[in-house]
Structure 1
């Protein structure tokens, strides 16, 4: 089945962001919950706005809680870690996603290899950040007039069009390394890295900077 305009299948009224890492207990839970936290700070209720943020792992620990150090990282940012349950990445997750953001290039390749026209809507997190920074916000639909969902879809199309023109400065530039089993100091450095990469993405999605009050 072909997915029109890079959007997930069956998502006419919402926009699904899927974060992918390996075990779905460290990087992707942190990224999922930091994304939700940032979006809620800027636009309030995500359901009303039509945004859904999820995560899964290519070798996901199905039903597992996130790592304790990942919870501590989220607490540092005031983000909610409660109720998280690990998931293994399935075809249905990719099919439904409008935007897939992975921790590494290997994860991106694995998602794309699953098919489902995922290539145009799958990026590493840092790759997407780099592309988003190069997009003129004035070329995107206004979230207030046309809604966040339409703006988000346009953002993904614009980023996909730039890929190949705006390359990574180094092989490691698009990677978020796995902190599994590492001390809390390394988890916190990864959390900071993820949070910094997410800020321009959330700004581009919503059209609102980080200091915008709800």
Structure 2
């Protein structure tokens, strides 16, 4: 595998027109700011309305948070789409089960987006303690500044961090369990009142913020070399 290849993240819901497109576009916009070229975020649906655009209220939510909803078309989740994905973030526990029915090898790389965000919050709390260590370390003799080789090293360091992240996150799952298992899920607003879209936003936005915060706090700087996950 090309160690500097973008980290591939897939978001999954049912129709791929309400929830997962919002997660896709907002994660992509935020991650592009942190590590340009470091991530490729896409989405799919377990029962997708193939070819349909994002729902208008979902598109408005994307715009509100600085993303771009244009050019979106829903697609059906398939084993081919799952091939080579580094991290799958589903909108419900049910979607996680459907992903694993298609590709059981993704067991340790598939989470609901809310549970994954809580795990990252736990990792962040641990990193603030005395046993923390940097996610990446400067390579011997690294020079400041940015050039082609620095960019490749930065992308490789980022990829190494994120490809090892699912295992680290799963290691603190027991510390991030919700009081109610329903708190792992994002409500489906399709064909429902605008208030349900607001509920979806209220559930999804904090999870996205936690993921982007983790990316920002652990972003490699020019002149860093990747560590083994």
Q: What range is the shorter-chain TM-score in?
A: 0.7 to 0.9
* Match 1:159 to one of 148, 155, 169: 169
State the Cα deviation string for residues 50-108 of structure 1 (Å, max 9, x = none): x1100000001111111111111112212100110101001012222110000000000
Counterpart in the other structure of 2:42:
54
Counterparts of residues 170-209 of structure 1 (less than 5 Å): 170-207=180-217
CA apart distance, 1:171 = 1.8
**Do 2:119 and 2:172's aligned partners in 1 also have CA atoms closer than 8 Å?**
yes
Give TM-score scaled by structure 1 length. 0.83
Counterpart in the other structure of 2:159:
149
Long gaps (5+) in structure 1 = 1-9, 210-214
**Do 2:8 and 2:41's aligned partners in 1 also have CA atoms closer than 8 Å?**
yes
**1: CA distance, partners of 2:109 / 2:100:** 9
Counterpart in the other structure of 1:119:
107
Determine which structure has more spread, i.e. the larger CA radius of gyration: 2
Secondary structure of the residue aligned to 1:36 is: helix
Counterpart in the other structure of 1:3:
none
**Do 1:133 and 1:200's aligned partners in 2 also have CA atoms closer than 8 Å?**
yes
Long gaps (5+) in structure 2 = 139-153, 220-229
Counterpart in the other structure of 1:91:
79
Indicate the RMSD between aligned Cα atoms, in angstroms.
Answer: 2.2
CA apart distance, 1:168 = 2.4
Secondary structure of the residue aligned to 1:18 is: strand
Give TM-score scaled by structure 2 length. 0.77
**2: CA distance, partners of 1:34 / 1:143:** 29
Q: How many residues align?
A: 196
